[in-house]
Structure 1
Amino acid sequence: MSKVTDKLDSMAESTGKKAEVLQSALDEINRDEQEKLDVIKQQLKDADVENLFGTKKEIKALPDTIDIDGGEKILYAANAFIETNSVLVVCTNKRVIFLDHGLIYGSKSTDIPLDMINSVSYSKGLMLGSIAVTNGVITTQIENMQSYSAKKMAETIKQAAADFKQTSAQSSPGSNLSELRELKKLLDDGIITEEEFAAKKKQILGI
């Protein structure tokens, strides 16, 4: 009987240690997530982001979306509508992110890398504004934004895209020639149009 008791005590002790290790790991994950969230909130504050009404869930999902460790930084953010979905639009120094935290499917995130953006336009209505972001032949229409937020977002995306392309061109000048050759081949093969070729050429050269 004593052997059985000793074995049960040993199992209980082992189970207790495993539970402690598991809890310690969970606590560390929670601390890491909280630290990332604190960094994101500070970045939003530094970017003078004020009204993000209705995007609390999207903001909580940002630590899993923004690559803080990789140097990604929020430049501006605003709530808006794409088609009929309410989204949080975030412009970083690497991409434009559209984050939608649904009630059923959880967080849904899509993005446009800054080097793929061809143009950004802004239009103002009586009370609200909208932005059109063109990525190749695709245009993403961002609607129902506060006029100030829409204008600032458009300006931020334009500047961020220009800065990113300029930095990329300066850091890898040798690769531009290779990209242009590949692009010309796509044009010659009829895969892209003259307009797409011209737009992508400007993008590669940062002009």
Structure 2
Amino acid sequence: MNMPELEPFDFKTASESDLKKEYDRIASEMIDDQYAIEIYFTMEMFENFKELPSILQDGEQVLAFCSGYAFGKDHALLGGITTDGETWFIVVTDKRILFINTGKFSGLQQISIDFDNVNAVSGSEKLMFGEIRIQDGDTERIIKWVPKKMIKPFTYAAQDAMEKRKKANAQSISPTPSNDRYAQLEKLAELKEKGIISEEEFIQEKKKILAKDT
């Protein structure tokens, strides 16, 4: 599912009122139900959203966000940070996935996962809530108690951003003069090793590179 193209929003210079408008815009794109928006997109989530200008890179755009209890593989640690019993704000941008926690006692905590390192993002729904799973190499990060209506928009946004990153990486290894053939093949093998492209895509791109030099 392709997400709509974004009108660039400058987080770095935005006022609080501008941030609230952008927060509301993204929420309305994720869920077409004003009653559900008022329930799920809380002021507590907006307090986390207000931290984004200090976290995002220049020009980085927010595609979707949600909140839930985040766990690492052992259900206690996430990127070395204890998360048990705490709600995290999880953001999909056009570059990465961010985990943000502005706990009263722990202060601002954040974890960033670049899309080059994300293997898969999936979601499952139950009656009112569900969970989102993010596969990052050998690490599976689980976000539980996510409102059901947030799960598909969040996972679709992440999957779409991953696909765009994959295409951009593929373009970066497009055929160039023959003396660069080995550099192209090395880059291709690196993308395959990271799980960004599949074995089938690796073979197809390898054939293209080799064919240009015959």
Answer whether TM exceeds 0.5 for this pair.
yes
TM-score under structure 2 length normalisation: 0.64
In 1, the alpha carbon distance for the partners of 2:164 and 2:127 equals 32
When normalised by structure 1's length, the TM-score is 0.66
Aligned residue in 1 for 2:195: 199
Q: Name the structure 2 match of 1:80.
A: 68
Counterpart residue identity of residue 82, structure 1 = A
Q: Secondary structure at the match of 1:99?
A: strand
Q: State which of 65, 75, 81 in structure 1 corresponds to 2:55.
A: 65
Correspondence list, 1:9-158, <5 A = 35=14, 37=16, 40-47=19-26, 48=28, 50=37, 51-53=40-42, 54-67=44-57, 70-83=58-71, 84-158=85-159
8 Å CA contact 2:123, 2:151 repeated in 1: yes
What number of residue pairs does the alignment pair up? 162
Of 176, 179, 185, 2:187 maps to 179
Q: Look up the SS of the partner of 1:35 in the other structure.
A: coil
**Which range moves more in the overlay, 90-99 or 34-43?**
34-43
Identify unmatched segments of 5+ residues in structure 1: 1-31, 184-195
**Cα distance change of structure 1 residues 200 and 63 upon mapping to structure 2, 3 Å threshold:** closer
User: Aligned partner of 1:135: which letter?
Assistant: D
1:105 deviation in Å? 2.6
Q: Is the 8 A contact 1:81 1:87 kept in 2?
A: yes
Give the match's secondary structure for 1:71: coil
1:131 Cα deviation (Å)?
0.8
Higher relative contact order (CA 8 A, sep 6+): 2
* Percentage of identical aligned residues: 22
CA contact (8 A) 1:121 1:133 kept: yes
**Equivalent in the alignment of 2:164:** 163
Q: Deviations over 1:26-63 (max 9, x none)?
A: xxxxxx96626555444433322543322243122111
Q: Deviations over 1:130-184 (max 9, x none)?
A: 111101111110111111101211111111111122123213436652234558x
Between structure 1 and structure 2, the one with the greater Rg is 1
| 1:107 Cα deviation from its structure 2 partner | 0.7
Confirm or deny: 8 A CA contact 2:118 2:135 kept in the other structure: yes
CA–CA distance in structure 2, aligned partners of residues 180 and 135 of structure 1: 19
Contact 1:43 1:73 (C-alpha < 8 Å) held by counterparts? no
**In the superposition, relative to structure 1, how do residues 74 and 37 fare at CA in structure 2: closer, same or farther (>3 Å)?**
farther
Equivalent pair of 2:91/2:99 in contact (CA under 8 Å): yes
Asked if 2 retains the 8 angstrom alpha-carbon contact of 1:128 and 1:146, the reply is: yes
For 1:106 and 1:95, locate their aligned partners in 2 and report how far apart those are by CA, in whole Å: 22
